[in-house]
Chain A
Amino acid sequence: MTQESPSSDPAADALHALSQETLWMLAVRDTRDKVAFAALFDHFAPRLKGFIMRSGTGSGQAEEIVQDVMLTVWRKSAMFDPQRAQVSGWIYQIARNRQIDVIRKENRPVPEELHADQATEPDAQQMLGLEQEACKLKTAIGRLKPDQREMIEKAYLGELTHQEIKSQTGLPLGTIKSRIRLGLEKLRHELKDMRSDG
């Protein structure tokens, strides 16, 4: 085999290039793989606990939230769509929702879930494109000045009020938005034709 020979299966190559976390999550979703779940737990649970404790929650309550979040990851794995989300972003939202339910005793309103169309093949290039955007995003955060970076962290930890967020200039998310939009357009759902069936 020479270097120039084209790959026989570009889709398989792209799947191979996905991050470890995505592959674990897909194994949990598609084959209920407990070994993969244990790997996800080892990766995310200590980070989740650190993340939750930073906003002032004690160790015991933080662990209760970590447990709820990780069980939700297992039970709702069918909702994970790698064409629209990274595992970390998906878990982030589950964690924030749970924190709000527990700490504010509010039932946080959530949007309707959008189900990936089972009939369509997952688009590996789309998944890979999203991962590349996630990498660029992490690099961009790493390059921020310390005070800017702290502001981003505070905002996403839920430590800033809406007014404080409004006065900050966030990171430019334009290319990520267009990439996620491509992923959303692959779904068949009611968002596309809200006004046509009214």
Chain B
Amino acid sequence: MAEITHHIPDHVLAAYATGSLSEPYALVVATHLSMCLECRANYEAHQMLGGAVLEMASTEALSGDLKTGVMAMLDTPVVPQPAHSRSGIYPGPVMAALKGRPPRWKSLGLGVRQCILTGNSEGSVRLLYIPPGQAVPDHGHNGLELTLVLQGSFVDETGRFDVGDAEVADQDLEHTPVAEAGPPCICLAATDAPLRFNAFVPRLLQPIFRI
């Protein structure tokens, strides 16, 4: 079986571990970390560095009753929050974003579909469904764009992206990802494009792309 070959860059993992990545990107990173041993190890290394910073933090005196209160709560029964587990091709973090339900696809034309997971003025994240031979919809983005393959594969000018692979693009990358033959390509895509229904438009391909 092929290994994951396109990983999350270290600065993005560091930003995720320190909590400075906004929610749309954080969802893509958390999903890749649910699929990739290598990035999981790198992410946990950042946690260890965070722990070292915590160890060296200056202490603040606690209110007298804080510890007593916490100790008294140890035996309080709690209803554990149900963790969303992996379902089919969708890892736990995606299932959590879907609130445990299957995606509700909306057609964008040419067989391309999307399901918006979350979005605000800072960015958005969605599932995209691209039939073989179709291009991943075009949209404006000014900063980081993170795309993670969950099913099928796509190719663009920079390489081939299979299940688990993440493509990181910034505004300098002009690329046209096209779904390969096989099952439809389903990916998770986060951008800083504001959430608009028509933010993604399918693009018509030049006939150079053959299935």
Q: Which residues of A contact B (CB under 8 A)?
A: 34, 37-38, 41-42, 44-51, 53-54, 59, 62-63, 66-67, 70-71, 74-75, 84-93, 95-97, 99-100, 106-114, 133-134, 137-138, 141, 152-153, 155-158, 160-162, 165-166, 170-171, 173, 176-178, 180-181, 184-185, 190-196, 198
Contacts and interface: CB of A to CB of B under 8 A. Distances in A.
15 contacts: A41-B70, A45-B62, A50-B57, A63-B66, A71-B73, A89-B44, A92-B54, A96-B50, A111-B31, A111-B34, A112-B86, A138-B55, A177-B42, A180-B41, A181-B37
Contacts of A195: 1-4, 162-164
Given A37-B74, A194-B164, A99 B19 contact: yes
Nearest to A45: B62
Given A91-B54, A92-B50, A191-B37, A67 B93 contact: no
Interface stretch (B6-14, B130-138, B172-180, B197-205): B6-14
B41 to A, nearest CB: 4
Interface residues of B, number: 74
Contact of B144 (A89, A97, A106, A162): A162
B41 A177 contact: yes
A161 B33 CA distance: 21
Given A141-B53, A194-B164, 10 more contacts: A46-B60, A63-B63, A66-B66, A96-B50, A111-B34, A162-B144, A165-B18, A180-B44, A185-B37, A190-B86
B61 interface: yes
Contacts of A75: 78, 80
A117 B29 CA distance: 25
A83 to B, nearest CB: 11
Given A162-B11, A162-B12, A162-B144, A49 B62 contact: yes
Interface of B: 1-4, 10-12, 14-15, 17-21, 23, 25-27, 29-31, 33-38, 40-63, 66-67, 69-71, 73-74, 78, 80, 83, 85-86, 89, 91-93, 96-97, 144, 151, 162-164
Chain B binding surface, main DSSP class: helix
B11 A181 contact: no
Contact of A198 (B61, B67, B89): B89
B34 A112 contact: yes
